[in-house]
């Protein structure tokens, strides 16, 4: 354990070292960030650019008679260009070296005229292309999951993303885990030029922490092994014998190993800081340690712990258990999301419903893909999943594991010994490793666009995902289905759907392209009274750093209403007497990227909703219910929330299995969404809670509720005598059904 003085000294030393490192990083940023080395396309040729022109196919006698070269010459001249050299690239495709005639006219203007010429199919500047940013780490070739989709369909295209950014050192990624090995050569402490910030150890139990004390400021992983002797003690009697996992180190190196250092592996990110927070010790971790650690990671004060000087933008949690999302998690996640932190969590390895906390609303839940893009057998799945990512699969049932997720680890079976890396024999698979891949992508997004709040970052992560999911060439592979209950296990490969594996396959390049788009935002001013006007302004819209919003366009999307565009960024709207209408703001930045926001104007007010990239015309009303699935005991309550989008009237009517308000057999639900389960388990045990839009009763959202007979009191301890065999009867089936299942592991193929 460190003393307070040692901690302060360490922090001071670290701050000095950080300052030096930040200075050095800023100084060397141009070398590290490949995108900054790319000059403007015009810089390639100066005042004599080169253009590639394709002519339209000629079907008239005149056109057929005229040589293509002459047709290019004529079109170029008509556009104000003076061709110096015309060389054929194909029958109708030519490259033209030009001299600009219009003094001072931008090439884009001249090119625009050429493109508009009736003889020209297309014309583009001849652009210089650059090698993708490929790291020189010695094991990079084996990191198939970072490479292009030609290497493996589920690979995340990191090289194209790194052309845009390798991340910013202004972003901190926290990982709640077993801690980290600070002296692993591919991680190392930030104080000596590495990636790891000091972090914190939140494990209260000294025996579980395995470092001689409870909470302290040292996030080093001392090992989490369980020996046969440990299992004789009350603390670990229910645990399995296991070697140390070095799980936190494996997760950390996936998010951000030191990259392009000619050693080991590359991380998804190259620059952001990594913040290790210990919550998992011997035999797992408790919610009572995890929840305050989540708050601390986000920079929120926790009693008894010094405040976190490095609040995290991204928080990775590669753990969980089969459970509904507990209210305590809901509260904490809501709080840290509002604080700006994005929570990423792994779906689980049971092949069943998504574990808690990944199944909580607002969390980026990540399920696991095989290299081919189908769901890997062990991965849990369901509607709570945000996106999927490679989790590692072996293909072979023995021998080398072909698609392991290569990462840093240690050879020690108890305490750390030799630092090393996983490989095809000492392989590394699990949704534990798909989550940090996505956490890394999220960190790249936050680096590229600091204006993205948590919900918008998640929305654009989905937008950038590759879709549709690939379908196995093996026709016997079934389509994945939404698990109906915890016992509904799909532990073999299946073809993903958006209902089971999220919006698509996480893709770093696609996510960054989405992140770079501007953010359309509308502010509303004025009083909503009949006959009055209100002003909608788009001036709060933002572009990424270095770009500006240059165009605002207002249009009536839905319904009938009147407005005038007062200035480019504002619209003055007549308050409607009866019906509502939807106005859309589309913004464009100086790179040509766009975003849009819809404003629903009613007689009494206006609400803004992000315009979806694909939607045109009237956006239809959407209703979603959170949580989307849960389990409850008989005669207990669970509160659901309904979110209504694209509607002026946001109220809903609640039903249970189609009955408004429910009944005593299937459970009841109040007008505010509080569901009370029936006194005994109904048949079937799964009921559907539905929220129906009051504005449009044809629109609704649903959640499934499983009513369970008994809750497993996993950590109930007892003292004294008495009790009876009856307690056993209830426990036996549950223990067999639940406790054992997670202990039986299959090799992922």
Q: Under a CB-based contact definition with an 8 Å cutoff, are residues 402 and 379 in contact?
A: no
Q: Which two tokens stand for residue 678?
A: 């029936």
**Helix segments in 66-168, DSSP class H:** 68-78, 107-116, 158-164
Q: Site residues for another protein, window 271-330 (CB under 8 A)?
A: 280, 283-288, 290-292, 295, 302-304, 318-321, 323, 326-328
By rule CB under 8 A, what count of residues binds another protein?
88
Strand partners, 525: 535
Q: How many residues are given for the chain?
A: 749
Give the binding range for another protein (CB under 8 A) out of 164-172, 180-188, 340-348, 561-569. 340-348
Q: Under a CB-based contact definition with an 8 Å cutoff, are residues 125 and 114 in contact?
A: no
Q: Under a CB-based contact definition with an 8 Å cutoff, are residues 478 and 381 in contact?
A: no
How far apart CA 669 and CA 675 sit, in angstroms, is 4
Distance set, CA 585 to CA 32, 290, 538 (Å): 37, 42, 7
How far apart CA 119 and CA 54 sit, in angstroms, is 9
How far apart CA 364 and CA 383 sit, in angstroms, is 12
Q: How far apart are the first and last CA of the chain?
A: 43
716 touching another protein, by CB under 8 A: yes
Q: Which of 13, 604, 670, 714 binds another protein (CB under 8 A)?
A: 714
Please name the residue that has the structure tokens 């190196």: 253
247 touching another protein, by CB under 8 A: yes
CB of 387 to another protein, least distance (A): 16
742 touching another protein, by CB under 8 A: yes
Give the binding range for another protein (CB under 8 A) out of 80-88, 258-266, 632-640, 665-673. 632-640
Question: 39 vs 487, which CB is nearer to another protein?
Answer: 487
In 3D space, the residue among 661, 701, 673, 742 whose CA is nearest the CA of residue 319 turns out to be: 742
For residue 460, give the H/E element and its range.
helix 454-463
Q: Under a CB-based contact definition with an 8 Å cutoff, are residues 644 and 688 in contact?
A: no
Q: Site residues for another protein, window 388-407 (CB under 8 A)?
A: 391-392
349 touching another protein, by CB under 8 A: yes
Q: Which of 256, 348, 483, 611 binds another protein (CB under 8 A)?
A: 348
Stretch 674-713: interaction string toward another protein, x if CB under 8 A: ------------------------------------xx-x
Q: Which of 194, 430, 518, 678 binds another protein (CB under 8 A)?
A: 430
723 touching another protein, by CB under 8 A: yes
CB of 258 to another protein, least distance (A): 23
Question: 178 vs 500, which CB is nearer to another protein?
Answer: 178
Q: Site residues for another protein, window 358-387 (CB under 8 A)?
A: 378
Question: 72 vs 208, which CB is nearer to another protein?
Answer: 208
Q: Which of 633, 660, 671, 679 binds another protein (CB under 8 A)?
A: 633
Q: Which of 168, 422, 602, 668 binds another protein (CB under 8 A)?
A: 422
Question: 475 vs 717, which CB is nearer to another protein?
Answer: 717
Question: 372 vs 521, which CB is nearer to another protein?
Answer: 372
In 3D space, the residue among 374, 443, 408 whose CA is nearest the CA of residue 161 turns out to be: 443
Which residues, other chains included, contact 8 with Cβ-Cβ below 8 Å and sequence gap of 6+?
none
DSSP state of 77: H
Give the binding range for another protein (CB under 8 A) out of 465-473, 573-581, 598-606, 714-722. 714-722
178 touching another protein, by CB under 8 A: yes
Q: Site residues for another protein, window 127-166 (CB under 8 A)?
A: none
Question: 177 vs 493, which CB is nearer to another protein?
Answer: 177
In 3D space, the residue among 103, 109, 126 whose CA is nearest the CA of residue 54 turns out to be: 126
Question: 67 vs 721, which CB is nearer to another protein?
Answer: 721
Which residues, other chains included, contact 640 with Cβ-Cβ below 8 Å and sequence gap of 6+?
625, 626, 627, 654, 669, 673, 674, 675, 689, 691, 703
How far apart CA 379 and CA 351 sit, in angstroms, is 5
In 3D space, the residue among 398, 375, 383 whose CA is nearest the CA of residue 153 turns out to be: 375
Which residues, other chains included, contact 555 with Cβ-Cβ below 8 Å and sequence gap of 6+?
583, 584, 586
Question: 377 vs 464, which CB is nearer to another protein?
Answer: 377
CB of 285 to another protein, least distance (A): 5
Question: 285 vs 383, which CB is nearer to another protein?
Answer: 285
724 touching another protein, by CB under 8 A: yes
In 3D space, the residue among 102, 104, 128 whose CA is nearest the CA of residue 114 turns out to be: 102
Q: Site residues for another protein, window 566-605 (CB under 8 A)?
A: none
CB of 434 to another protein, least distance (A): 9
For residue 629, give the H/E element and its range.
strand 629-632
CB of 742 to another protein, least distance (A): 7
CB of 403 to another protein, least distance (A): 13
238 touching another protein, by CB under 8 A: yes
CB of 422 to another protein, least distance (A): 8
How far apart CA 503 and CA 709 sit, in angstroms, is 34
CB of 717 to another protein, least distance (A): 5
Question: 103 vs 729, which CB is nearer to another protein?
Answer: 729
HEC string for 363-425: EEEEEEECCCCCECCCCCCCCCEEEEEECCECCCCCCCCCECCCCEEECCCCCCCCEEECCCC
Question: 264 vs 285, which CB is nearer to another protein?
Answer: 285
Strand 700-707 with 629-632, pairing? parallel
27 touching another protein, by CB under 8 A: no
For residue 728, give the H/E element and its range.
helix 725-734
CB of 727 to another protein, least distance (A): 4
668 touching another protein, by CB under 8 A: no
332 touching another protein, by CB under 8 A: yes
Question: 161 vs 435, which CB is nearer to another protein?
Answer: 435
Q: Which two tokens stand for residue 353?
A: 């419903």
Question: 229 vs 304, which CB is nearer to another protein?
Answer: 304
Q: Site residues for another protein, window 197-236 (CB under 8 A)?
A: 204, 231
CB of 333 to another protein, least distance (A): 12
Q: Which of 189, 259, 431, 557 binds another protein (CB under 8 A)?
A: 431
Q: Residues 612, 616, 621, 623: is their CA dihedral positive or negative?
A: negative
How far apart CA 219 and CA 10 sit, in angstroms, is 13
Backbone angles phi, psi at 227, to 5 degrees: -95, 165
CB of 380 to another protein, least distance (A): 9
337 touching another protein, by CB under 8 A: no
Q: Which of 30, 44, 124, 331 binds another protein (CB under 8 A)?
A: 331
How far apart CA 84 and CA 95 sit, in angstroms, is 11
Question: 223 vs 518, which CB is nearer to another protein?
Answer: 223
């Amino acid at each position: 354990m460190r003393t307070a003085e040692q901690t302060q000294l360490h922090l001071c030393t670290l701050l000095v070292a950080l300052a030096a490192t930040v200075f050095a990083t800023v100084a060397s940023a141009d070398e590290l960030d490949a995108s900054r080395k790319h000059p403007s396309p015009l810089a390639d040729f100066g005042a004599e650019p080169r253009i590639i022109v394709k002519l339209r196919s000629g079907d008239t006698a005149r056109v057929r008679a005229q040589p293509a070269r002459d047709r290019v010459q004529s079109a170029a001249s008509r556009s104000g260009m003076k061709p110096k050299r015309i060389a054929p690239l194909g029958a109708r495709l030519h490259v033209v070296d030009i001299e600009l005639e219009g003094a001072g006219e931008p090439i884009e203007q001249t090119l625009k005229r050429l493109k508009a010429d009736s003889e020209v199919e297309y014309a583009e500047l001849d652009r210089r292309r650059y090698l993708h940013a490929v790291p020189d780490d010695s094991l990079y070739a084996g990191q198939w999951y970072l490479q292009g989709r030609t290497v493996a369909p589920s690979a995340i295209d990191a090289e194209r993303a790194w052309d845009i950014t390798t991340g910013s050192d202004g972003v901190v990624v926290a990982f709640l885990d077993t801690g980290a090995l600070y002296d692993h050569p591919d991680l190392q402490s930030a104080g000596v030029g590495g990636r790891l910030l000091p972090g914190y150890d939140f494990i209260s139990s000294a025996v579980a922490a395995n470092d001689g004390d409870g909470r302290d400021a040292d996030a080093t992983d001392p090992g989490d092994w369980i020996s046969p002797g440990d299992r004789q003690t009350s603390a670990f009697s229910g645990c399995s014998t296991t070697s140390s996992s070095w799980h936190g180190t494996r997760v950390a190196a996936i998010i951000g190993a030191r990259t392009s250092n000619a050693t080991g592996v590359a991380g998804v990110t190259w620059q952001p800081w990594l913040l290790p927070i210990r919550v998992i010790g011997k035999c797992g971790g408790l919610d009572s340690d995890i929840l305050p650690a989540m708050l601390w990671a986000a920079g929120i004060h926790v009693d008894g712990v010094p405040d976190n000087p490095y609040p995290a933008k991204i928080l990775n949690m590669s753990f969980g258990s089969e459970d509904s999302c507990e209210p305590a998690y809901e509260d904490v996640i809501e709080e840290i999301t509002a604080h700006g932190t994005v929570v990423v969590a792994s779906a689980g390895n049971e092949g069943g419903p998504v574990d808690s906390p990944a199944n909580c609303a607002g969390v980026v839940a990540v399920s696991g893909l095989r290299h081919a893009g189908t769901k890997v057998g062990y991965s849990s799945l369901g509607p709570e999943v945000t996106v999927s990512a490679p989790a590692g699969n072996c293909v072979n049932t023995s021998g080398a594991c072909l698609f392991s997720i290569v990462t840093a680890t240690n050879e020690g079976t108890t305490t750390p010994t030799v630092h090393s890396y996983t490989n095809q024999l000492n392989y590394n698979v699990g949704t534990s490793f798909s989550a940090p891949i996505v956490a890394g992508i999220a960190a790249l997004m936050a680096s590229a666009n600091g204006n993205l709040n948590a919900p918008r970052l998640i929305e654009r992560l989905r937008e950038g995902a590759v879709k549709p999911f690939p379908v196995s060439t093996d026709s016997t592979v079934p389509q994945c289905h939404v698990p109906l209950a915890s016992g509904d296990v799909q532990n073999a490969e299946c073809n993903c759907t958006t209902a089971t594996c999220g919006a698509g396959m996480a893709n770093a390049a696609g996510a960054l392209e989405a992140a770079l788009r501007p953010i359309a935002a509308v502010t509303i001013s004025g009083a909503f009274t009949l006959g009055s006007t209100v002003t909608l302004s788009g001036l709060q819209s933002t572009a990424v750093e270095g770009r500006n919003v240059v165009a605002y366009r207002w249009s009536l999307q839905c319904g009938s209403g009147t407005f005038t565009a007062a200035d480019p960024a504002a619209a003055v709207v007549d308050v409607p007497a009866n019906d509502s209408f939807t106005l859309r703001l589309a913004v464009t930045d100086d790179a040509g990227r766009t975003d849009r926001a819809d404003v629903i104007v009613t007689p009494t007010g206006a609400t803004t909703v992000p315009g979806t990239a694909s939607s045109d015309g009237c956006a239809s009303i959407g209703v979603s219910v959170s949580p989307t699935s849960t389990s409850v005991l008989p005669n207990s309550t669970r509160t659901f929330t309904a979110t209504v989008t694209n509607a002026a009237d946001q109220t809903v009517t609640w039903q249970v299995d189609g009955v408004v308000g429910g009944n005593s057999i299937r459970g009841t639900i109040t007008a505010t969404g509080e569901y009370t389960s029936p006194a005994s388990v109904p048949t079937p045990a799964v009921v559907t809670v539905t929220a129906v839009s009051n504005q449009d009763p044809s629109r609704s959202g649903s959640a499934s509720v499983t009513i369970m007979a008994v809750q497993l009191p996993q950590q109930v301890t007892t003292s004294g005598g008495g009790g009876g065999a009856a307690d056993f009867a209830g426990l036996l089936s549950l223990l067999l059904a639940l406790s054992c299942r997670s202990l039986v592991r299959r090799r992922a193929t």
